[in-house]
């Protein structure tokens, strides 16, 4: 029986492993200056439809966030995020460890709004307060929700107005872009942000995030920043090879779409049972609200994580599907839930 | 024709890739709490011959150095290193970026001596100077040399006397321990240091360093430190799987020994030609001193790095062999060098 | 006409200036190792009634907070504070600049409660979240309120239970201890905290805060931390001389009591006029809630700071009295307010 | 009998204390936005002969260095200094604590040369090494020596060529500018550097350094940086008042010239006795080389600091004169030395 614990439980898509095997007989130069990284960057640029962008491959999400945020801020500047943002919650203070405060607002269903940003810009004025300089959002968010084009454009415009950089954490960007509710393209993402990344770890790679620098002012010397934070891999080509595979023949999108389809099926089952959800997630993370007893049973059986308390008797738990989720396992889960919840 | 540029040019040993392929069909829990990491740690403990040590798997050398050094120092403390130490030269100020000064001495052939340590301890006294708290050495060193048991014990004793932690950068520990000049065991290393690591990236893994915490005082909460610096991989089992392979059937030592054997052969050839070496390296890095013209030719043909200027007309360049070096390629290189240098 | 803008508008009490003049003809050794600092420390120890404490003199509040907090935390640890806490609001991210996250709760009237601490301790569990290690409170608070003995003991006990250090920002400790609602002594403060400071800048000194380390584990090498953060003054005796004066003949308490008396008089006037207050402050900061028009007039006339919006038509502004406030000026202010508000 | 230990032994010139006394009856607004700071800045601008510069008042040298250096560097950039530079030796790693490596060269008599800078620029190339971005020099230096106009212009030109900022630590700038060997004006200093400071602590003020930002690119938001590092004093006017006095009627220069005159007299006496000096200092710090026995006697009698070992039997000790040094005390010292050394 499969777990629905997270989307990084299975090592990597076989195409990727096969490519790594093939490359073990080659010699590649180090630190991401090899041909695999070059080709992977070309494939991504082609997919985005832009030439004038820089692409760097890093090992993981927290690392990409901390390098991406800290490199572009002056010592006294801070980054705006929604309270549930990954950098504010589950990174053990990684951004603060680089010296920068995170300025938060509650947001809505895991999403930040222009109103939140404006409220911070109006509060943080003068040299006794941290100077906001960047906005951090995730797409899909930590609550499974996604930004639509109108929402992202509004945030982008708000950032432009206040002179803020916009950074998009795309650890689950594949899931966002292949969601049936999505109306954004990779090109939109690139046009509306200064810097974002395309997560590989949670979408079929052994590890790796492709960071895209869109704002020309942010390109210079970024490899220095990577090296200093331990993010310039000696075998950079191990990341390049994986992104080559992911962006060849649309594998990246196929894998993410599969995870979403599996989640949609599970979501429909919960809906049919009248189970409320913490957020109306159209991606591969679902947050059903169940009684504490049911939660215990499901967490044990499917490895789900406890998410948050809703009231004395109820809580939300998280189901996550992945590129490797087998449909039969989803069916098994649905059958079990139906039995359990219909009692 | 092969390059002798470095020991991270080839992706990974086939056994490792095969194990990753096999694991792609499993589900593993994240962040290094899986069974592969547990088994890898058990294998390493068995190899070391100690139970009471903690083992963590990190992605790369600079990352391991910066987490390993910064976690154990108070804000005003510094780390002692030889001038040529990797943290002092080729890590873009990663240790300083965590807030700590590196206190250096010239050392000898890449090695630090108790005399160097004492000289620093006598200079750095009082609150106007950084307080030394840790000694960092590499084995093998950045100059290819190794510490013998007597030297390491002397440094260990000196550290004990002054209350300094001893950290050993083992990015190339395999090459050191399998050198024909070596008289140290892994158990000696563990007994004589507070913390050290067993490098995988430069000895057959795709990536990965196994950090061993020997001093019980340093064990608590180390995973917090890893997470904060972006060093706790979501797919931690990708590292565990690799070290499982490396420490099963002595693969780690076999690979390192092969690299050394290849280097020895090359070294003998240089010796036969009367070529002086920058250091008398018994490991997989060699630093022949040649004329600037010869250097140009060899760097171009074999991808060797320029190491340092020796005089107006001569310089040292670096040849590195690896776990994947093919003997026939060494023979080709020797033949070429003999023709070139005998002219 | 006097301003009621803050308690650092007037340079220093004449006794202090006179002592500095006298000392200009002496020679003192530097960096706080002089006899004035020694005598000032002795006077403070006597006032506290404890011998086994360490006392250091620093230049200002933000500096004292940043050194006091950062020195005792491991890199991945954070400090708990109420949202309105000075370190969280008006220090431009000084604590984050040393690498540490501030974990906040809304609190009540500027005060943190054990319930707040417990709620954080229950949330921040596991290596993906910052590890709480210290509680920061201010007394008096940024809202003018004070902790009574029962409240402080409850916080102290809560800290002990969870193994948290307790740091008390005493930038306005004089005002707290001489408030008519106060039931705490300096000895209580020392017994119930690990580290606290006695603010001089806001109570009659040119500059200077006396940091008291009560927890023996925190004493070692603190001067290194001061020096590193630029807080070890070359002319440390300039701070010692001032605290000598302040703790001779109870001057410190007399000055603070005067500021409180002046504030009480003003508070009574507002009360008589039926003006609501943002908090029921018994110290030298008052936060009357008035209409936006009245606020404009008073801010202009008395230099009051805008504090916060209360509703569309009303806001709170801050009146601050000081050691130097002249009673006749308070009377003038009262007369003016009565005319203005009675209209 | 007077000590010649340092130039921060005596509190402050009477004019300064008198002005502080007078100001204790005023009300001034906080954080350096008062009229005293404005007037002091005007006086300094007039003295420099430039209008288009920004002036900020900070509390001490280490603080000024750490804020001045850290604010202008990107995370992966470093600062070039001579090995004996104050930031590299006697500041407990304050610059490294802000995340930046100091790149050093031995220099000559405490001075850095263009050759040193070039040698670093040629070594530090590529993203594996720290990127040099600023040059730090002191005038007068930690060895008592000064830069002449030609030397400073050469360094300035070298910085321009490599795109490096030039920061001048002027903790003892008064002594440098009034030295009989000096050919630099304040205007030259401003024209040839990006940022420098005029030290008050070591030239008659209770405390205080006036930081001058000459490069327009570095002006924006500097007060944020000050506040974050605890360097924006609540009673900023206490610094303003002192610099007002120092730059009224040339007091700053008169005090420094006096210190130099006293040192010159002492230097002549040593010269007459044939005592060699560690450096040919034309300022208020002298470094005679004497036998270890003589050194012990003089250190005890005059509070001199041990400076460095010269050979087994000899060492250098430091004599420092100040704005407050009394000529008769110099005469006493000379008489004593003559008796001691002529034996």
- CB-CB: which of C71, C221, C226 is closest to B131? C221
Q: Do A227 and D128 touch (CB under 8 A)?
A: yes
Residue A233 has its nearest CB partner, among B60, B224, B234, at B60
Pick the CATH number of A251-342 from 3.40.710.10, 3.90.1150.10, 3.40.190.10, 3.30.70.940: 3.90.1150.10
Boundaries of CATH 3.90.1150.10 in chain C?
A: 257-342
Cβ distance A98 to C99 less than 8 Å, yes or no, reads yes
Is the dihedral angle over the CA atoms C23, C27, C31, C37 positive or is it negative?
negative
Chain A contact set for D71 (CB, 8 A):
74-76
Kindly tell me if the per-residue pLDDT of C343 is higher than 80.
Answer: no
Alpha carbon of D96: minimum distance to chain B alpha carbons (Å)? 5
Measured between CA atoms, how close is C200 to chain A, in angstroms? Answer: 20
Residues of chain A with pLDDT under 70: 343
Nearest to D93 among B89, B90, B100 (CB): B100
pLDDT at D342 over 90: no
**Do residues B135 and B141 lie in contact, with contact meaning Cβ atoms separated by under 8 Å?**
no
- Nearest CA to CA, how far is B238 from chain A (Å)? 7
pLDDT tens digits, C59-94: 999 999 999 999 999 999 999 999 999 999 999 999
- Return all residues near C18 (Cβ < 8 A) that are at least 6 apart: D21
pLDDT of residue C24: 86
Tell me, what's the pLDDT at B342? Answer: 83
Tell me the average pLDDT across C276-299.
97
What integer pLDDT is reported at residue A342 of this predicted model?
Answer: 83
The token duo for B145 is 């040399």
Residue ranges of chain B assigned to CATH 3.90.1150.10: 253-342
The SS3 assignment for D102 reads strand
User: Considering only alpha carbons, which residue of chain B is nearest residue A228?
Assistant: B94
Residue A1 has what pLDDT? 80
pLDDT digits (tens, 9 = 90+) for D110-165: 999 999 999 999 999 999 999 999 999 999 999 999 999 999 999 999 999 999 99
Which of C91, C97, C127 has the CB atom closest to A75's CB atom? C97
Q: Quote the CA–CA distance of A247 and A242 in Å, as a whole number.
A: 9
pTM: 0.97
Question: How far, in Å, CA of B314 to CA of B308, rounded?
Answer: 9
pLDDT in tens, C318-327: 999 999 999 9
Every domain range in chain A assigned CATH 3.90.1150.10:
251-342
D257-307: pLDDT as tens digits: 999 999 999 999 999 999 999 999 999 999 999 999 999 999 999 999 999
CB contact under 8 A, C225 and B76: yes
The Cβ of residue A312 has, within 10 Å, a number of other Cβ atoms equal to 7
Contact yes or no for D324 and C24 at CB 8 A: yes
B78-96, pLDDT tens digit by residue? 999 999 999 999 999 999 9
What does the alpha-carbon distance between residue B52 and residue B46 come to, in Å, rounded to a whole number?
A: 11
User: Is there a contact between A127 and D232 if contact means CB atoms under 8 Å apart?
Assistant: yes
In this structure, the strands spanning C131-138 and C165-169 are parallel
For D14-246, CATH number?
3.40.640.10
Q: Which residues of A touch B13 (CB under 8 A)?
A: 24
In chain B, what residues touch C99 (CB-CB under 8 Å)?
Answer: 99
Nearest-neighbour CA in chain D from A41: distance (Å): 20
| Residue in C230, C235, C237 nearest the CB of D63 | C230
Judge: C90–A130 Cβ closer than 8 Å, yes or no.
Answer: no
Q: How sure is the predictor about D1, in pLDDT bands with cuts at 50, 70 and 90?
A: confident
Residue of A nearest to B61 (CA): A230
Question: Which CATH number is correct for C257-342, 3.90.1150.10, 3.30.70.141, 3.40.50.2300, 3.40.1000.10?
Answer: 3.90.1150.10
Contacts by B328-331, CB closer than 8 A, 24 or more apart = B329/B1, B329/B2, B330/B262, B330/B265, B330/B266
Chains touching B, CB cut-off 8 Å, 3+ pairs = A, C, D
CATH-assigned architecture of domain D253-342: Alpha-Beta Complex (3.90)
Interchain contact, B60 vs A234, CB within 8 Å = yes
Spans of chain B, pLDDT less than 70: 343
Quote the CA–CA distance of A77 and A130 in Å, as a whole number: 6
The answer to whether ipTM exceeds 0.85 is yes
Domain with CATH 3.40.640.10 in chain A: 14-246
DSSP 8-state assignment for residue D5: S
Q: Is the Cβ pair C238, D207 closer than 8 Å? A: yes
Which residues on chain D are in Cβ contact (under 8 Å) with C13? 24
For residue range A136-164, what is the model confidence (pLDDT) as tens digits? 999 999 999 999 999 999 999 999 999 99
Do residue B98 and residue D100 have CB atoms under 8 angstroms apart? no
Confidence of residue C342 (pLDDT cuts 50, 70, 90): confident
Q: Is D341 left (phi over 0), alpha (psi -120 to 50) or beta?
A: alpha
Contact A17 B20 (CB under 8 A): yes
Q: How far is B14 from chain A (nearest CA, A)?
A: 7
With CB atoms and an 8 Å threshold, state whether D227 touches A71: no
pLDDT at residue D24 greater than cutoff 90? no
The pLDDT tens digits for D37-71 are 999 999 999 999 999 999 999 999 999 999 999 99
Average pLDDT estimate for D308-313: 96
Q: How many CA atoms lie within 13 A of D251 on its CB side?
A: 19
B76 neighbourhood in chain D, CB within 8 Å: 92-93, 97
Question: Which of C71, C224, C232 shows the shortest C-beta gap to B131?
Answer: C224
d(CA B175, CA B178): 5
Cα A108 to Cα A127: distance, rounded to the nearest angstrom: 30
Mean pLDDT of chain C: 97
Distances (CA, A) of A98 to C73, C95, C235, C322, D116: 15, 11, 32, 39, 31
Q: Do residue C228 and residue B75 have CB atoms under 8 angstroms apart?
A: yes
Q: pLDDT value at position A280? A: 94
């Amino acid at each position: 029986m499969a777990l629905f614990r997270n989307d990084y439980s299975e090592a990597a898509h076989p195409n990727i492993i096969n490519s790594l095997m093939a490359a073990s007989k080659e010699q590649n130069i180090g630190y991401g200056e090899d041909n695999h990284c070059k080709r992977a960057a070309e494939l991504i640029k082609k997919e985005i439809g832009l030439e004038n962008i820089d692409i760097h491959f890093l090992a993981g999400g927290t690392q990409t966030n901390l390098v991406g945020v800290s490199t572009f801020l002056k010592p006294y500047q801070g980054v705006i995020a929604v309270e549930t943002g990954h950098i504010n919650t589950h990174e053990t203070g990684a951004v603060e460890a680089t010296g920068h405060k995170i300025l938060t607002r509650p947001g809505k269903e895991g999403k930040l709004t222009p109103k939140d940003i404006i409220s911070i810009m109006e509060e943080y004025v003068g040299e006794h307060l941290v100077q906001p300089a960047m906005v951090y959002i995730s797409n899909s968010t930590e609550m499974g929700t996604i930004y639509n084009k109108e929402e992202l454009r509004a945030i982008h415009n708000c950032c432009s107005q206040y002179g803020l950089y916009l950074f998009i954490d795309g650890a689950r960007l594949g899931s966002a872009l292949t969601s049936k509710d999505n109306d954004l393209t990779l090109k939109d993402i690139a046009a509306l942000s200064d810097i974002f990344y395309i997560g590989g770890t949670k979408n079929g790679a052994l590890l790796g995030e492709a960071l895209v620098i869109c704002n020309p002012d942010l390109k210079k010397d970024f490899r220095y920043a990577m090296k200093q934070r331990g993010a310039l891999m000696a075998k950079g080509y191990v990341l390049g090879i994986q992104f080559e595979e992911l962006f060849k023949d649309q594998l990246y999108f196929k894998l993410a779409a599969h995870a979403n389809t599996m989640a949609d099926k599970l979501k429909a089952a919960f809906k049919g049972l009248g189970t409320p959800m913490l957020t109306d997630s159209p991606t591969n993370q679902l947050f059903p609200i169940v009684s504490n007893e049911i939660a215990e049973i499901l967490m044990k059986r499917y490895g789900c994580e406890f998410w948050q308390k809703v009231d004395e008797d109820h809580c939300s738990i998280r189901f996550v599907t992945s590129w490797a989720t087998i449909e039969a396992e989803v069916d098994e889960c649905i059958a079990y839930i139906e039995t359990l919840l219909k009692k």
